[in-house]
Amino acid sequence: MSDIILETRDLTKHYGGVHALEGANFTLRKGEHVAIMGDNGAGKSTFVRQITGVEQRTRGEVIFDGKPVNFAGPLDAREAGIETVFQTLALADALDVPDNLFLGREKTKFDWLGPFRILDYKSMRNDTLAALTKTGVKIPNIRNTIQNMSGGQRQCVAIARTATFHSKLTIMDEPTAALGVQETAQVENIIRTLKEQGEPLILISHNMRQVFDLVDRIVVFRRGRICANLRKEDTDGQDVVAYITGAKTQPEYADAA
Amino acid sequence: MSDIILETRDLTKHYGGVHALEGANFTLRKGEHVAIMGDNGAGKSTFVRQITGVEQRTRGEVIFDGKPVNFAGPLDAREAGIETVFQTLALADALDVPDNLFLGREKTKFDWLGPFRILDYKSMRNDTLAALTKTGVKIPNIRNTIQNMSGGQRQCVAIARTATFHSKLTIMDEPTAALGVQETAQVENIIRTLKEQGEPLILISHNMRQVFDLVDRIVVFRRGRICANLRKEDTDGQDVVAYITGAKTQPEYADAA
Amino acid sequence: ENIGVSMALFDDNFLTVLRNGIQNFADDMSDVDVQIEDAQNDVAKQLDQINNFIASGVDAIIVNPVDTSATQAMTAAAEAAGVPLVYVNRQPINVDTLPDNQAFVASNEIESGTLETFEICKNLRAAGKGGGARAYVMMGELSNQAAVQRTKDVHDILGTDMCNFITIVDEQTANWSRDEAQDLMTNWLSAGEPFDAVIANNDEMAIGAIQAMKAAGIDMASVQVGGVDATQDALAAMAGGDLDVTVFQNAAGQGSGALNAALKLARGEDVDQKVYIPFELVTPANLGDYFSKN
Amino acid sequence: MADTTHGTGGLTFDKSKRAWPNEINVFGALVLIVLIFEGLGFALMGQSFLFDSNGRFDSIFNEQRLRIIILQVAIIGIIAIGSTQVIILGGIDLSPGSIVGVTAMVAMSFAQVAEVNGYPNPKALFGPAFMDLPVIVPIVVAILCGLAAGLVNGLLIAYTRIPPFIATLGMMVAARGAAKWWSKGQPISFPTDSYAAIGAGMKPVIWFVLLAILFHFILKFTIYGKHTYAIGSNEDAARMSGISVDRHKVLVYTIAGILAAFAAVVLSSKNLTAQAGMGVMYELDAIAMTVIGGVSLSGGRGSIVGTVLGALIFGVIISGFTFLRLDAYYQEMVKGVIIVGAVVLDQWRQRRSAARM
Amino acid sequence: MADTTHGTGGLTFDKSKRAWPNEINVFGALVLIVLIFEGLGFALMGQSFLFDSNGRFDSIFNEQRLRIIILQVAIIGIIAIGSTQVIILGGIDLSPGSIVGVTAMVAMSFAQVAEVNGYPNPKALFGPAFMDLPVIVPIVVAILCGLAAGLVNGLLIAYTRIPPFIATLGMMVAARGAAKWWSKGQPISFPTDSYAAIGAGMKPVIWFVLLAILFHFILKFTIYGKHTYAIGSNEDAARMSGISVDRHKVLVYTIAGILAAFAAVVLSSKNLTAQAGMGVMYELDAIAMTVIGGVSLSGGRGSIVGTVLGALIFGVIISGFTFLRLDAYYQEMVKGVIIVGAVVLDQWRQRRSAARM
Ligand SMILES: Nc1ncnc2c1ncn2[C@@H]1O[C@H](COP(=O)(O)OP(=O)(O)OP(=O)(O)O)[C@@H](O)[C@H]1O
Ligand SMILES: Nc1ncnc2c1ncn2[C@@H]1O[C@H](COP(=O)(O)OP(=O)(O)OP(=O)(O)O)[C@@H](O)[C@H]1O
Ligand SMILES: OC[C@H]1O[C@@H](O)[C@H](O)[C@@H](O)[C@H]1O
Ligand SMILES: [Mg+2]
Ligand SMILES: [Mg+2]
């Protein structure tokens, strides 16, 4: 078996006249942590949405765990083993924290009741407290609804959700954008734990320090195209910025210039 | 006339059992740039919402430009001269960029027509291009609707909106959270320009570097209370983190411990 | 005495005349109070209204049934509570098994459509069209029994030897409404089919048809138009030479008759259990007799 | 509820200040309205509204009044149990009234007796082979009707993504047409005794209460309920979290259809007849009950308990009007005002309690 | 449109690939439906639907058909112009049908003639002092009725924050009650000639078209329009951006009320009578036209042009059915299907064109 967990070939997405993603060739090895960087609007989230089936791609292939896949929706992607923290968080505003954490995979009893099986509230509540502690967030009352939470509290709930379940691949789209100093540190610890456990990760981030602290490799997007693929050892912050701004382009990605 | 543009006395907000903001005494001088820092859920955005009339406070006073104020809504606050970039951005998803930039203060012709006065689309479009250039954001088509924009593009639109209009006080709640490296630099330039023009600013940010680059003074919130008020010259990153995490508390704010 | 009245619906021309008949008659008596409810064409609401009357302890109840097949349940409810009950205007399905303290004052819808259609048939013959004539039929609301019955009457008459020279071009509902009838007639006209008569289930629709035909420049003398109800608007249209046939139903008479029966039953007196008020044909010939009736 | 403060990061939460459950507000409105009628009753009629003021009953209450208050809303209440779920889901259903109409017609056709008072049934629709059938036949037929209609609603809404307002408006028009077409507008009457027993006396109330309890439990404690709330709260989020939103929607609308069909059975049994116009506007009353009961039209919030209280408010109002001998014209005008008033009151209480410290 | 690529940061935008305006899709649906009726017409009736197949007219078209297609939807179309604005605002209005009812009654009471055929007006409601009044009186009275009803809707929705569905449902019930109460259910007939002229012949169409053009312009080019779209798109954002959302809502609902009142004038004039039951269900037809025309029920999107096309689709369908002599039962069933079908078609086209490269 190959050691490549995810590969995209010529992955492309156009929205009407907007070419948001163009011919992305990307590979991720098992156990590898890769960062995606790039300007606002460079196509990073679009890339994630094509892989996870949130949208249907214009063309190209996605090969996950050795098989070509074409997820009809994020549910399929999750069932195949991809856990994602979306930039838009995907939380149900009127529900409380445990409900959100277990959304779509509630713990239940009497499973023979099918859609009417009974929820195991108590056990979900306990697991929630444990999961939140990992992210270090402070929430006065986890039975409060999400709409009453601060921006950072929401983001922590979304991350706790992903971190609670094992997966073959984790994708995080700007997971610490709204987080405070302490919470950011905690989330970075979560990511380090994934690394130790050998779980592969795609991290989208604008935070240079964080990227250099956490990942093995940096892929740079510009105007919908990949323009650089850099091993951490071979580059530094200045160099990455040069790729992001278009001052530099790697020869193999020349058409992105 | 005093040189204090904004003062709050005992400003407090409770949501049911959640004490989100408790007895905040805060002052801002004309021309001064102040940062508010603190953990997620510390009450920073709540503080902003009480000042700008988005919510009605539980108790306390707000004195703006020498007069006690009690804004019924953000419209009042803006008319009084407070421009705000909210953490939730406040953009109309189905409208395009110029529409959003001029939302609530459209340029019009034939003003005697009252609510039926005619929109001056052309001039708004031109001004929009100019305003966006200031933020350095790349948007392929400004006539695209906001819902089709990336997270960072949205944030830039919200900032451009605030930066386009002169005001007595500007408040920005985590304005660069979703921004890329270049866009962040541009927004920081906008803030510097405000400083040069002597316009006062409250900046909420989790970014230590940014805060130390831009502001004169740092106020730290913890669990709904102010726990430190630090002149930039008298402190450093480590020190601020100590206040945020609760390792330190200034003596005058001892009850926040 | 306190009398509860449940009308099938309020916003109906004919039933309004009937309702006002009851109200005026009651107002003329010193110690009679009527409380009139609107069942809004809902059988279930009507049954509930009867139960509410019972809970409030009225002395007798008058019902103008929404659905004459739904009267069994109403009879049972009133009987169980020992409250007298009188049906008005529409003949209840259980008319032959009514308990002693119940009665009805009603008309038989079989007559209305029959009188109307037969008169039109005669007129067409007299106009020399006995060799073949074509008619459009406008129906009332399809869920309404008067509409169903009157339409059936049309078919029955046109099935007789005397009138089977008339064929129906098309038959559609205009929901008792003048407005819908105008549109329906105009739509029919745009097909360009020749026709000699419009037979409508009520006057409002007949008037709508007339308005549409006049707007299209059709000579009203060349078309027979019939309705039912003999409303003031219809009588005016007949006086103007546009409407040819309508059928009068004595609304005020039915109303006062029902109230009388209810009062007698409440006082324990004997009444005729079935009072039957016939429909009357109205044509330009006897038009004058009806101007002040409805 | 567990004894923890439900907080993380060492934060505490002052539980005594928690906002009231919304149902308490609705209950308050109900009590208020009853008191108003009591007051007006004594002032205007010299009588009590709910109590037995002239010794007609053995108990201290006017039992007939209590019974009719709930009886007259029980059937629409059954529909409202479905509407509640649809609205929590973030949808709307305009079709139950018409589903009632067509289902009543179809079911009743399989519930007719062969002979009435020794004569053949004058309203017979089918031949003798289809008469005097066991009661299970019309019930199954009705459930199938409701299931089919609800399923079509659900499939349209889930898979073509047209707004529920439109899908169910289409069903409302089409099903009413089908009701009229079934017997060409003729009412269908004279059901078997066993069919007549389903909705006799206070039975409709029993069905309503049983169904309310059942669905209260289902909404609060099963995965079906949780997903209903989750989808209503944020459909995209529910989808991204891996809930099979489309399948769930189909299920909820189908259940609403079945409940409407069951209401049709009870209704036609109670009235001993079925006619094509049955159930007109019931959907609006059901929605009004639901919203008066505190279910949010934007989805994600509400409960069956609220809806039951909303139904009672309706029942009290209708009976109160008759009690006060209010003219029917004014009744409608006042009913409009009360629908609005009840919701305004509820919103106002909610906002006040949110603003409380 | 300007010639720039509307991009910043040196980005370009491929304008040729821009999605079709939605109205084109609706227009496509209209053409499709017409073609279906043409096809069926030739197959079943041996006649053309829109063309003059038996030489009755001077032109190549069946002029009567063209006229009735638009005439029969013109009055509801006037209401739909209001519904369009309310729906773009993110609201819904269930009251216009009842506003039509009450306004027609009230306005007509001030438009009666004293004498009919030489006899005193048999339907006279007021004394002679209020008869034979100049036509401006009933018109002003009508506008005031509509304004009042719309204002109440708007104030309730804006300031008590109850859902529009409920506020306008209350108005729907209350205004219908008022319509019945006004003359105790008596129809009011025999208007003056000048009143009768307002809705005579093709006048309703002229009013509809004029109002459609006016409001198309207002929605596209004035601040009123922009704020309507903005509030419908994101009410909170509109509020935070400093739009006086509440005042604007009041304005929009008031305009919808006035349009309904004007429709009542045209309707009662066209019919030469006013009845308490007038306008029942018009609101649903108006909403259906609007949504078929591509206005999104979630607000922020749509146009008057779409609504006009939606109204035409309705008109074509009604005429087409009569043309094919489809039984009324089937008509209703098929109408339900078409309401749904038109919207499904539109959504499908939109999604396909969004998915196009
Ligand atoms: N409407 C509300 N109802 C109940 N609790 C609320 C509400 N809004 C905010 N809170 C709570 O108040 C506290 C302060 O929230 P706030 O949004 O001010 O935090 P913040 O400092 O801006 O955090 P962040 O950095 O994550 O944006 C949080 O614990 C939050 O859960
Ligand atoms: N549904 C859509 N329709 C049209 N254009 C879209 C749509 N979604 C995204 N875009 C455009 O595609 C481009 C890429 O967007 P994307 O969200 O992938 O950016 P990003 O790299 O994630 O940026 P950020 O760092 O700001 O999150 C942007 O120009 C955006 O405006
Ligand atoms: O039920 C409604 C109908 O009732 C009839 O008796 C009347 O003739 C019709 O005009 C119509 O009003
Ligand atoms: Mg992104
Ligand atoms: Mg915040």
Q: What angle do CA E115, E116, E122 make, to 5 degrees?
A: 85
Contact yes or no for D173/D99 (Cβ under 8 A):
no
Q: Whose CA is nearest to atom 28 of ligand 1?
A: B41
Mean pLDDT of chain B: 87
> What average pLDDT does the segment E116-145 reach?
88
Burial class (CB in 10 A: 0-12, 13-18, 19+), A164: middle
Contact yes or no for D243/A75 (Cβ under 8 A):
yes
Is there a contact between B18 and A178 if contact means CB atoms under 8 Å apart? no
Q: Which CATH number fits domain D22-37+62-352: 1.10.3470, 1.10.150, 3.40.50, 2.30.30?
A: 1.10.3470
> What average pLDDT does the segment A145-153 reach?
81
SS3 D66: helix
Q: What pLDDT, on a 0 to 100 scale, did the predictor assign at position A13?
A: 93
Least CA distance to E243: which residue of chain B? B104
When mean pLDDT is compared across A148-152, A225-229, C154-158, the lowest value belongs to A148-152
C94 CA to centre of ligand 3 in angstroms: 22
Residue ranges per domain, chain B? Answer: 4-256
C14 CA to centre of ligand 3 in angstroms: 6
pLDDT band at E355 (very low <50, low <70, confident <90, very high): very low
**Given the structure tokens 């209840």, which residue do they identify?**
C92
Q: Identify the residue with better confidence: A37 or C93.
A: A37
pLDDT band at D353 (very low <50, low <70, confident <90, very high): low
Dist. CA D195–CA D190, nearest whole Å: 10
pLDDT in tens, B168-225: 999 999 888 888 888 888 888 888 888 888 899 999 999 999 999 999 999 999 989 9
Contact yes or no for C191/E324 (Cβ under 8 A):
no
pLDDT in tens, E12-43: 555 555 556 778 888 988 999 999 999 998 89
Assess whether chains E and C touch, using the rule of 3 or more C-beta pairs within 8 angstroms. yes
Q: What pLDDT, on a 0 to 100 scale, did the predictor assign at position D4?
A: 44
DSSP string for residues in A160-173:
HHHHHS--SEEEEE
Residue D357 with chain B: CB contacts under 8 Å: 14, 58
Architecture of domain B4-256: 3-Layer(aba) Sandwich (3.40)
Dist. CA B93–CA B57, nearest whole Å: 29
pLDDT band at D357 (very low <50, low <70, confident <90, very high): very low
pTM: 0.88
Percent of chain B at pLDDT above 90?
36
Burial class (CB in 10 A: 0-12, 13-18, 19+), B114: exposed
Cα atoms in the Cβ-side hemisphere of radius 13 Å centred on C71? 28
Question: The complex's ipTM?
Answer: 0.85
Residue ranges per domain, chain E? Answer: 22-37+62-352
Is there a contact between B118 and E236 if contact means CB atoms under 8 Å apart? no
Contact yes or no for C206/E87 (Cβ under 8 A):
no
B193 CA to centre of ligand 4 in angstroms: 28
Q: How far is C271 from chain E (nearest CA, A)?
A: 31
Q: Whose CA is nearest to atom 24 of ligand 1?
A: B40
CB atoms within 10 A of CB C128: 8
Question: Measuring CA to CA, which residue among A133, A183, A179, A134 is closest to residue A152?
Answer: A179
| C60 phi and psi angles, rounded to 5 deg | -160, 165
Dist. CA C6–CA C9, nearest whole Å: 9
Paired tokens of E138: 């009933």
- Cα E319 to its chain centre, rounded Å, is 18
> What average pLDDT does the segment E273-281 reach?
91
Residue A152 with chain B: CB contacts under 8 Å: 39-41
Q: What pLDDT, on a 0 to 100 scale, did the predictor assign at position E19?
A: 57
Q: Identify the residue with better confidence: E93 or E294.
A: E93
Is there a contact between A17 and E354 if contact means CB atoms under 8 Å apart? no
Residues with CB under 6 A from ligand 3: C 12-14, 140, 144, 146, 176, 202, 228-229
Dist. CA A13–CA A48, nearest whole Å: 11
Chain D within 8 Å of E172 (Cβ-Cβ)?
A: yes
Which atom of ligand 3 is nearest the CA belonging to C109?
6
pLDDT band at E3 (very low <50, low <70, confident <90, very high): very low
pLDDT in tens, C203-228: 999 999 999 999 999 999 999 999 99
Q: What pLDDT, on a 0 to 100 scale, did the predictor assign at position B1?
A: 52
Checking if the pLDDT of D356 tops 70, the result is no
Assess whether chains E and D touch, using the rule of 3 or more C-beta pairs within 8 angstroms. yes
Contact yes or no for A181/B241 (Cβ under 8 A):
yes
Q: In this structure, which ligand is nearest to the CA of C68?
A: 3
Q: Where are the beta strands (DSSP E) in chain E?
A: 115-116, 119-120, 188-189, 273-274
Dist. CA C80–CA C74, nearest whole Å: 10
* C183 vs E68, E119, E272: nearest CB: E68
Dist. CA D167–CA D108, nearest whole Å: 27
Q: How far is C260 from chain E (nearest CA, A)?
A: 22
pLDDT in tens, D211-244: 999 999 999 999 999 999 999 988 888 887 878 8
Contact yes or no for B105/E227 (Cβ under 8 A):
no
SS3 A145: strand
| Probe site for chain C from D275, D285, D323, D324 (most C CB atoms < 10 A) | D275
Q: Where are the beta strands (DSSP E) in chain D?
A: 115-116, 119-120, 188-189, 273-274
Is there a contact between B18 and D13 if contact means CB atoms under 8 Å apart? yes
Is there a contact between A19 and E14 if contact means CB atoms under 8 Å apart? yes
Chain B within 8 Å of A56 (Cβ-Cβ)?
A: no
Checking if the pLDDT of D355 tops 50, the result is no
> What average pLDDT does the segment D271-280 reach?
90
